[in-house]
Amino acid sequence: DVYKRQTYAYSGVGAQTQELRDLRHSPTALRDHIFRTYIHRRFEHENQKTRAGLPFSIEETYRILGKTMIAIAGRRGFATRLDRSSLYQVVGTRLDDFADQMLRMNILRREDSQRFQFIHLLLRDHFLLDYGMQAVFEGDERSRADAIRALGWTGDPRVIPLLEQIVAGEGATDETEQGLRVVAVEALGRIGTPEVLPGLMDALVARSYAVWRRSVAMLADLDDFVVEPLVEKMGSDNSHVRRRASEALLRMEKRALPKLVDAINHENPLVRENAAKTMGRIGDPSAITTLLSMLQDEDTKVQRMAARSLALIGDPAYHILLDSLHHRDPLVRLGAAWALGELGDPAAVDQLITLLDDDNDNVREFTTQALGRIGDARAIDRLKAILAADPYRRARWHAAGALGRIAAGDHRLTDQVLDALVTALGDSNSGVRGGAVAALGDLADQRACPAIRALMDDRDKIVRASVAKVLGALRDGDAVPTLADHLLSDHETVRWNAAASLGLIGDQAAVASLTTALNDEEAKVRWSAAWALGQIGDRTAQDALVSALSDISAKVRLNAVVALEQIGATDTFEAISALASDPDKQVRTAVGVALRRLSERYAKDQKSRR
């Protein structure tokens, strides 16, 4: 009671005791006094009367104070359960000159963040670090999160290794632990010094979306010292790290541009490519000149990314790109053509058509692609000429694709391109023949089916695979015998596409061949055959599909379950039920759906028989 009255007296109006005046000459003693007084007032406020009047030891005071300050620091201000005026009432302007000057100015008159920082620094020297570094591993999720946040607010480099340890807890599967990793990432970002870079960079490889996403945000909020390390990360062998580093730089916007511009001379082409990509996504017109120069890069991926980025910048780059179609360097011309194709503005078609006469093979190739992406009918005649007679095979190949794309966008144009594409099926180059097959598939015109079927015995396996796929897309019933024969092809992709196409056509004449294909050595052929049998829906395939339920491939088992449900095999209920505990989640889900539907069908059949 004496202690309680004494501490209240120190905080009372006009308190001028000699003891308090002596304390002003000893900041440490003054703080100890403030700590004790504040703890008493806090406990009185929370009606913890059993302890409010007890004098605490310094150790116990620190323990209670640590919990209090973690609650305060962890929420960037006073916790809701605390009376915001309590600390002011105890240590505000009611002390004498020293405390008045020190505390009133820092607690009463400053902004919330500054006020908090002062309180935090005042108390940190005594306790928070030691207690907080222990508290991150103790208590419930909220208490641990508060402790982690509080450590971040200290800004003390001694807490960085501990925070990095929490962030690196990749083995944590518990949702709580994943949440604490995110809080630790935020704490590192709050410290904000170069020393936190390793921990935040390591978080970019995290499997947890929340962890790496927060790391990206924290990195983007750091000062400019982070830009160069992020640029270097864009050359990582890990595609996730490259993409996430680029995302952080994108968030930094113009702050990142100078280093991104410098990266065009980086020795790693991945860095150059991602620098071009990021500049395009930032969309600042000041990057146009740099991106134009990157069209001359020795790496084709860098060139294409620079072209795409110019297209992303859009209108500010449009006229510069048109002018660049006449640049003396063919790399710039083809890059400009590519970018204009990405922009998709029909106003560029006439100038692009003139570029089809360019003496550089690659320029003509890229220009045909650009015209296909724009999809304007004005380019059809010149593209047909390229397809028929251009000496460069890749220009002919892309001309076929461009014609298919233009006519697929407007089927009224089909008659203008059909004959040219059918003629191209006889091209000497297999790539051009395959491109013509794919383009005819895009047209979806069955008049081309006989000519396409004739290529089922093409000497090139890739062409045969393309033909097998397109015949199914065109639902060519006359192709069933040929496709069934090619289920025995020596190339697995031909067999795979043939099985899928037979399923799309849905002719029961293919059931026997597809049943045999369920024993193919390649899993993708087996699951394609199972899928096709389900599409056809013939009950004669039931026994073979039941056998497929024990296939080593989960996808084969999955498609067999679905196929048995599709053909209405209600007497396979027991065989399907055996997969209810299958190790594959998709199979288990399919089993549940199939059993429910088969049960409903069985009940319906029984009812109709009555």
CA distance 439 to 404: 4
Decide if 310 is inside a domain. yes
- Boundary-marking domain end, from 78, 103, 132: 132
pLDDT at residue 547, rounded to an integer = 95
Residue 479 has pLDDT above 90, yes or no: yes
**Is residue 76 pLDDT above 50, yes or no?**
no
Say if residue 55's pLDDT is above 70: no
358's tokens: 């360019």
Which of 25-39, 132-146, 479-493 is least confident?
25-39
Residue 285, number of CB atoms within 10 A of its CB: 12
Span 156-163, average pLDDT: 87
What pLDDT is recorded for position 243?
A: 93
Confidence label for 111 from pLDDT (cuts 50, 70 and 90): low
Within 13 Å, how many C-alpha atoms sit on residue 157's CB side?
6
pLDDT of residue 196: 92
- Lowest mean pLDDT, pick from 10-24, 28-42, 313-327, 483-497: 10-24
pLDDT of residue 74: 47
Instruction: Dump the DSSP string for 394-412.
Output: HHHHHHHHHHHHHHHH-GG
Q: Is the pLDDT of residue 496 over 70?
A: yes
pLDDT number for residue 425: 96
CB 484 within 8 A of CB 516: no
pLDDT at 45: 44
Q: Within a domain: residue 259?
A: yes
Q: Which two tokens stand for residue 238?
A: 């890990």
E-state strands within 137-262: none
Query: Cβ(564)–Cβ(545) under 8 Å?
Result: yes
Q: How far is CA 425 from the centre of its chain?
A: 40
Backbone angles phi, psi at 77, to 5 degrees: 150, -175
Q: Are residues 10 and 112 in the same domain?
A: yes
Q: What is the pLDDT of residue 394?
A: 96
Mean per-residue pLDDT of the chain: 81
Single residue among 329, 357, 376 that ends a domain in this structure: 329
| pLDDT at residue number 78 | 36
User: What pLDDT shows up at residue 136?
Assistant: 78
Which residues, 6+ apart, have CB-to-CB distance to 427 below 8 Å?
396, 433, 436
Q: What is the mean pLDDT of residues 197-205?
A: 92
Which residue did the predictor score with more confidence, 107 or 606?
Answer: 606
Residue 174's pLDDT is what? 64
Three-state helix/strand/coil letters over 504-529: HHCCHHHHHHHHHHCCCCCHHHHHHH
Average of per-residue pLDDT across 462-483: 95
Is the per-residue pLDDT at 194 higher than 70?
yes
The answer as to whether 189 is a domain residue is no
**128 in the same domain as 8:** yes
Q: Please, how many CA atoms are within 13 Å of residue 296, restricted to the half-sphere of its CB? A: 11
List the single range of 160-169, 346-355, 494-503, 537-546 with lowest mean pLDDT: 160-169
Q: Which residues contact 53 (CB under 8 A, 6 or more apart)?
A: 1, 3, 4
8 A C-beta contact, residue 568 and residue 543: no
In this prediction the pTM is 0.66
Q: What is the largest distance, in Å, between two alpha-carbon atoms of the chain?
A: 110
Of 166, 157, 227, 250, which Cα lies nearest the Cα of 202? Answer: 166
- pLDDT, one tens digit per residue, over 578-595 is 999 999 999 999 999 999
Structure confidence at residue 46 as a pLDDT band (50, 70, 90): very low
Judged on CB neighbours under 10 Å (0-12, 13-18, 19+), 8 is middle
CATH number, domain containing residue 309: 1.25.10.10
How confident is residue 61, by pLDDT bands cut at 50, 70 and 90?
Answer: very low
Residue 131 has a pLDDT of: 65
Token duo for residue 311: 């297209």
> 60 or 211, which is more confident?
211
The stretch 12-32 carries a mean pLDDT of 43
State the Cα–Cα distance between residues 559 and 544, nearest whole angstrom. Answer: 12
* 98 SS3 class: helix
Please give the residue range of the domain that contains residue 75.
2-132
Q: How far apart are CA 22 and CA 279, in angstroms?
A: 63
Q: Quick one: pLDDT at residue 475?
A: 94
pLDDT at site 173: 53
Q: Residue 9 has which token pair?
A: 């007296």
Q: What is the pLDDT of residues 347-369, one digit of tens each?
A: 999 999 999 999 999 999 999 99
**% of the chain with per-residue pLDDT over 90:** 56
Q: What is the 3-state secondary structure (H, E, C) of 542-595?
A: HHHHHHHCCCCCHHHHHHHHHHHHHCCCHHHHHHHHCCCCCCCHHHHHHHHHHH
In this prediction, residues 30-58 reach a mean pLDDT of 44
Does the residue 106 lie in any domain?
yes
What confidence category does residue 13 fall into, taking pLDDT thresholds of 50, 70 and 90?
Answer: very low
pLDDT computed for residue 90 by the predictor: 38
In a domain, 68, yes or no: yes
In a domain, 550, yes or no: no
Res. 107: pLDDT tops 70: no
Alpha-helix residue ranges (DSSP H) falling in 375-443: 380-389, 393-409, 414-424, 430-443
Q: CA nearest 152: which of 86, 213, 108, 200?
A: 200
Res. 112 pLDDT band, cuts 50 70 90: low
Domain boundary (329, 356, 388) is at 329
Is 253 among the domain residues? yes
Angle between helix 27-45 and 112-123 (nearest 10): 110
How far is residue 465's CA from residue 494's CA, in Å, rounded to a whole number?
4
User: In which band, very low, low, confident or very high, does the pLDDT at 17 lie, cut at 50, 70 and 90?
Assistant: very low
Angle at 64 between CA 58 and CA 67, to 5 degrees: 140
Whether residue 227 contacts residue 249, with contact meaning beta carbons closer than 8 Å, is answered with yes
Indicate whether 557 pLDDT > 80: yes
Q: 557-592 as b/e, with b when 16 or more CB fall inside 10 Å?
A: bbbbbbbbbbbbbbebeebbeebeebeeeebeebbe
- 127 and 249 share one domain: no
Q: Identify whether the C-beta of residue 570 lies closer than 8 Å to the C-beta of residue 537.
A: no
pLDDT above 90 for 228? yes
Residue 459 lies in a domain: no
C-alpha count within 13 angstroms, C-beta hemisphere, residue 233: 26
For the chain, give the percent of residues with pLDDT over 70.
77
Tell me: do 6 and 127 sit in the same domain: yes
Number of structural domains (the chain) is 2
Cβ pair 519, 560 in contact under 8 A: no
373 close to 340: Cβ distance less than 8 angstroms: no
